[in-house]
Structure 1
Amino acid sequence: MTSLLELDGIAIRYGGNTVLSGLTLSIDSGEIVGLLGPNGSGKSTVLNAVTGFTPLASGSIRFDGRRIDPLAPHRIAQRGIRRTFQLPSMPTRMSVLELTMTASSEHHQLCAALLRGRATRRIEHATHARASALLEQLKLTAVAHLPAASISGGQKKLLSIACAMMTEPKLLLLDEPTAGVHPNLRGELIDELRRIHGLGVTLVVIEHDMHFIRELCERCVVLDRGAAIANCKPAELDKNRRVLDAYLGRAHRTARPLEAP
């Protein structure tokens, strides 16, 4: 595999508080990597840094061989990186289908065509068909015409994935995709993410559901206090003393199965 994403000694500080401290991390093309750690360990900050929402104090980030940390978020997205958020905010005046269509690359072509006065029916039809297919795959067809802000929290998570996939990303970053999703749908979500991975998309997943991580991910990187303390297969987490210390505290005496705090 070739390295798709490279974080080289990145540090992020908020005032006097160091959130990430010289973090170095490499994600190969085609991997599914779980990004784990206790609350406050810096997981979401990593995603914010990669997508340009949080500037670096030091270090660099390269994607597909090119440095991206100086770029604005929309420029980074154009390179092929998409993300979902832990608490997605949805518009009140757009339907689920309309929002999904708006997220597409074709939508930007449609806007440009409208401005130039060109025919748009072909572009609109293709965008509608692709959005409808994604919503069907993510079990959102029944709510396609409802306001995006009115659907459940779990459905908003799935809608975020649909919007991200409308742009055919190379790298998809997911921030707690199972939070708010009904337990019965988590198996289907794993299947869908595997399908997306099968399309050639590299996945990085922040998640507290360890069963979900074990089922989906090939490798795990564990953060604690802004630094990487483990880089291993999911099956090796329970035997890693530094991971157990981070999650359970150094007062623990026996290693027990690692679960979310």
Structure 2
Amino acid sequence: MLETILSTESIRKSFGAHCVLDGVSLSVRKGEIVGLLGPNGSGKSTLLNILSGFTPSDGGAVNVDGHDVTGLPPHAIARLGLVRTFQLPSMPHRMTVREVLQAGCRREAGLGGALRRWRYDAEVARLLDQFLLTRVQDQPASALSGGQKKLLSIATVLRSRPKLLCLDEPTAGVHPNLRSRMVELLKEVNAQGVTILVVEHDMEFIRELCGRCVVLDRGALIADCAPRELVENPRVVEAYLGKAVEKGKLTA
């Protein structure tokens, strides 16, 4: 049985009188690609913010790779291996694409430092190529298209060699042609040993990428199943009221 890398127990969160998460417990095993789904307002983004330390919970616990990270700040959680991207990545105006990727390098002096710098530069070149950014490497990062910014944000967080990568709607605003390539890229990342949790609305993307889905509705976990089973789950279909079931998938 695969080891658990992420687990939550009875996570609760309210904003004023509005309950956003009502006792959510879930787990992700090492090596999985898991989709976190739900209609607007279901609590997906709030849960992701709690997992990554950007929002405190009102109760419950979060465990990352055997460590209780409940209430820890984002940088402490990232050191333990959980990193994330954002739906609308913000890029610096005065740094090129290559410089953004290089920014995480710790420059060291001496012969050992020179060797490490060579390795860092080789890694940057590899990521630029893998994420289709080589031809724009000298452009300002802020001038990239929405899809290219998504790719750069993923490539940048991979510099920290995460154990668990959490993605917040990676296909939002992405051209359909790039969306297919993103599926391939994330499968490559997963094959290199990175577990992935992805918040997404695009059901076809989830079906192509994920082996398992967890679904939230009004702050509660209502399904934990393979993507192909989503349309057979009456609670999921009801949660997506106003959506249609066509050709074996939920469509927006």
Tell me the TM-score normalised to structure 1 length: 0.91
Of residues 118, 130, 138, the one that matches 1:137 is 130
The Cα shift of 1:259 comes to: 3.1
Residues 244 and 258, structure 1, Cα contact 8 Å, conserved in 2: no
Q: Does 1:150 align with 2:151?
A: no
What is the CA-CA distance between 1:179 and the residue it aligns to?
1.2
Matches within 5 A, 1:174-189: 174-189=167-182
Structure 2 residue 202 is matched with structure 1 residue 209 = yes
> Please, which of 191, 194, 207 is the counterpart of residue 198 of structure 1?
191
CA RMSD of aligned residues (A): 1.6
The one-letter code of the counterpart of 1:25 is L
User: Quick one: which amino acid aligns to residue 5 of structure 2?
Assistant: L
Residue 240 (structure 2) pairs with residue 229 (structure 1): no
Q: Equivalent residue for 1:243?
A: 236
Structure 1 contact 10–20 (Cα < 8 Å) conserved: yes
Q: CA deviation at 1:255?
A: 5.6
Counterpart amino acid of 2:51? Answer: V
TM-fit CA distance, 1:260: 4.4
Amino acid across the alignment from 1:87: L
* Residue 15 (structure 1) shift: 2.0
Q: How many angstroms apart in 2 are the aligned matches of 1:19 and 1:197?
A: 30
- 8 Å Cα contact 1:239/1:255 also seen in 2: no
Deviations for 1:200-230, whole angstroms, at most 9, x for unmatched residues? Answer: 1101111111111111100010101111111
Secondary structure at the aligned position of 1:187 is classed as helix
Q: How many residues align?
A: 249
Alignment partner of 1:222: what SS?
strand
CA deviation digits over 1:100-155, x for unaligned, max 9? 1113xxx23x2xx4xxx656433333222111111110111111111111100110
What runs of 5+ residues in structure 1 fail to find an aligned partner? none
Question: For residues 115 and 226 of structure 2, what CA distance do their matches in structure 1 show?
Answer: 46
Q: Is 1:26 matched with 2:17?
A: no
Contact 2:223 2:236 in 1 (8 A): yes
Equivalent position of 2:74 in the other structure = 73
Identity among equivalent positions (%) equals 51
For the residues of structure 1 that align with 2:43 and 2:125, how far apart are their CA atoms?
36
The letter of the residue matching 1:24 is S
